[in-house]
Structure 1
Amino acid sequence: MMYRLIFINIILLVLGQSLWKAGLSGKELNLSFKTLMGLIFNPYIFIGLLIYIVATLIWFYVLSKGELSLVYPLQSLCYVLAALVGFLFFKEQIPFTRWIGIGLIILGAFFVSLKG
């Protein structure tokens, strides 16, 4: 159950970040009230915020039941999924060295998840 919730949380976090990325695409950002309101009421940003709220509630539950030394390192799989989303949906170029790093994250999460 715990791993399933962590997986759902990872999906929601990356989905929220991806929506933010889409909502910020082509935007000129500055620290003005108008810009802030435009961001908050951008549908991609707003839905991303709602998804983050749900992810945070799930994370609270996971933290209340699991060991921090286990569940937090598993959250690093967010980086793996985000890289895949960047590559597949945002057409980002990922250099070979970054793929190696992504592989190491997966390997690290595997070892963290082992019992004993």
Structure 2
Amino acid sequence: MNGYKTELLVIGSVLLAAAGQTLIKLGLTGHGAFSRTLLEWPLALTAGVVIGLCVYGLGTVMWFAAVAQRNISYLYPLAGINYVLMGFIGHFLLHEGMGPLRWCGIFVMTTGIVLLSKTNTKESEC
């Protein structure tokens, strides 16, 4: 399990970033309790925005911990999982439209993430 500590930090970071971004979106678009205004100055900050920023911040701290342990060239493609995850959240949770080209793009990104995660971090395999 220790060998995968960094990858778990990245996955936690990605999940928290996606959750934070989703909460921010819900707060900005007026969804239920997330749209309740907490502060009016200098911008109207809703519960979703404030909670989302806190969750996103926790994900950022996890990202810092991961970057301190491994090469950024290895970790950053793993962080790309966030783009894929947000596509699914946008479509299935927020009911945003996703055309065939966007789904193809998500497939290409997923394939790239898998290929990049399989490379040797010490030397190029190609």
Shorter-chain TM range is 0.7 to 0.9
**How far has the Cα of 1:13 moved from its partner?**
0.4
Verify: 1:85 aligned to 2:89, yes or no: yes
Q: State the number of aligned residues.
A: 108
- Matching residue of 1:8: 12
Q: Which string of whole-angstrom CA distances, capped at 9 and with x for unpartnered residues, describes residues 63-92 of structure 1?
A: 100111010111111010001001111111
Please, what TM-score do these two structures have when normalized by structure 1?
Answer: 0.86
Q: Which string of whole-angstrom CA distances, capped at 9 and with x for unpartnered residues, describes residues 47-75 of structure 1?
A: 11111111111011011001110101111
Please, what TM-score do these two structures have when normalized by structure 2?
Answer: 0.80
**How far has the Cα of 1:37 moved from its partner?**
4.0
**How far has the Cα of 1:44 moved from its partner?**
0.6
Q: Which runs of structure 2 are paired with 1:14-53 in the superposition (5 Å)?
A: 14-26=18-30, 34=40, 36-39=42-45, 42-53=46-57
**How far has the Cα of 1:34 moved from its partner?**
4.0
CA distance in structure 1 between the aligned counterparts of 2:78 and 2:43, rounded to whole angstroms: 35
CA distance in structure 1 between the aligned counterparts of 2:27 and 2:113, rounded to whole angstroms: 30
Residues 66 and 17 of structure 1: CA distance in aligned 2, closer, same or farther (over 3 Å): same
More helix by share: 1
Structure 2: unaligned runs, 5 residues or longer: 31-38, 121-126
Q: CA RMSD for the aligned pairs?
A: 1.6
CA distance in structure 2 between the aligned counterparts of 1:4 and 1:55, rounded to whole angstroms: 12
Structure 1: unaligned runs, 5 residues or longer: 27-32
